[in-house]
Amino acid sequence: MAARTFSLILLPTLQCNADCDYCFEDKTDDRLSLARLEILIDKVLDHLVVKAIGALTIHWQGGEVMTLPPAWFDAAHRLIGTAAANRGVVVTHGLQTNMIGYGPRWNEVIREMFDNQVGTSVDYPNLYRHRHGKDAADYDRILTENIGQARAAGIEVRAIAVPNAQTLAIGAERFYDHVVGTLGIRSFQVNTPFPGGSPNAAKRDLSLDSAALTRFFVDLAEVWLARGDRDGVRVGPFDELLSVFLDAPSILPCIWTDDCANHILCIDARGNVAQCDCWVASYPDYWFGNLFDADSLDSLLAENPVRERFHQRPMALVARDCIDCDYLALCHGGCPVRTFSVHGTLFEKDPHCELYRSLFGHMAAAAARLARDAQRR
Ligand code: SF4
Ligand code: SF4
Ligand code: SF4
């Protein structure tokens, strides 16, 4: 069987123990039962067999995954392992959690199912993340304690960070010091913000000044190049971009894949299928269908008119907005949901285009510098 890998973003619960101001999710009480998970996973694996795809990574997200008990994940792990072995598909699991509900009772399942790693979200300074009726300081206190507790148990904690206006104000150096120095996180990725879902004041604040956001990304790349690369700290997307420009193996974030609809799919606790979590949570008009109503995932996806629009996007942009770009083969027009949340259409280039171009140029220059230095030695 071919070694191609497919990514499934699976939202087994739409409940959350937090109430972040910028959340794009329509949180409900829906949870996936193990019986429904078995049906869902059989259909996903059967689809991969038809497509001759031999490996699946399941990214478990919510809502908040830790509103389900560890025993549920233990049972899910065994159930999926049996179904995958029966079809000769290799399945790996990743966990993305806000860590507010983390405690030692999670350690065994994190070790057995998630290779002793968790991914969480870190905002610094935290303006928008909080529990219902509580403030950001309460959230930060619990998150910091739980990250420390998980790390003390030997778990590798990774993070996704989205800069806000105050992040840009404090600058890249202080941000890096907080994530790496204070929290002890040695692998994190910085994502560009986007106002997904229905508008509110917090999301309007996210429309960050492009020049300031670009400066922050470039400064953070420089901080990482000066300190992190040497200390074995990984900071995405800079590490992977550097690999691209050094002609080394790399795995770029989905925003720069040729066509994310070929590699990624999201299914929520009700069986709704869409491109990724923001689409399934916020834009019902862009659902591909419901897996529990369909005979198979194959029939649901075959000539699916919504999914077809995602496939058409890269070529449409190549023919128009991105044709003269030096980085077209790297970026492919950027991310559909970032585009849609700003422009209301798929058929525009990513609103962070200028940031990407600056960053690509910067990392290309850094790679050339490193290659020159290596030659001189
Ligand atoms: S933790 Fe995630 S799902 Fe929960 S409220 Fe915050 S952004 Fe939304
Ligand atoms: S829409 Fe954007 S975030 Fe979602 S899978 Fe595609 S590239 Fe990734
Ligand atoms: S950097 Fe901008 S112009 Fe270039 S491919 Fe990406 S979105 Fe298109």
Cα distances (Å, whole numbers) of residue 58 to 77, 244, 247, 304: 11, 25, 28, 22
- Looking up tokens 């770009």 gives 325
The pLDDT value recorded for residue 200 is 79
* Local structure of 123: helix, strand or coil: coil
Nearest-ligand number for the alpha carbon of 25? 1
- Mapped to the 3 state alphabet, what secondary structure does 53-111 carry? CCEEEEEECCCCHHHCCHHHHHHHHHHHHHHHHHHCCEEEEEEECCCCCCCHHHHHHHH
Nearest-ligand number for the alpha carbon of 131? 1
pLDDT average, residue stretch 218-239: 93
Confidence of residue 3 (pLDDT cuts 50, 70, 90): low
**Protein residues with CB under 6 Å of any ligand 1 atom:** 16, 18-20, 23, 25, 62-64, 98, 129
Closest ligand 2 atom to 334 CA: 7
Q: Kindly give the distance from the C-alpha atom of residue 322 to the centroid of ligand 2, in angstroms, as a whole number.
A: 18
Name the residue of 25, 121, 191 whose CB sits within 8 Å of the most ligand 1 atoms, as the mutation to test its pocket: 25
CB 56, CB 89: distance < 8 Å: yes
Name the residue of 260, 263, 282, 345 whose CB sits within 8 Å of the most ligand 2 atoms, as the mutation to test its pocket: 260
Share of residues in the chain with pLDDT > 70 (%): 98
Residue-wise pLDDT for 239-276, tens only, equals 999 999 999 999 999 999 999 999 999 999 999 999 99
Q: Kindly give the distance from the C-alpha atom of residue 230 to the centroid of ligand 2, in angstroms, as a whole number.
A: 31
Name the residue of 64, 140, 268, 282 whose CB sits within 8 Å of the most ligand 1 atoms, as the mutation to test its pocket: 64
CA neighbor of 29 nearest in space, from 77, 79, 76, 64: 64
Instruction: Give the integer Cα–Cα distance in Å for 342 and 348.
Output: 10
Domains in the chain, start-ordered, CATH in brackets?
A: 5-301 (3.20.20.70), 305-376 (no CATH)
Residue-wise pLDDT for 287-323, tens only, equals 999 999 999 999 999 999 999 999 999 999 988 899 9
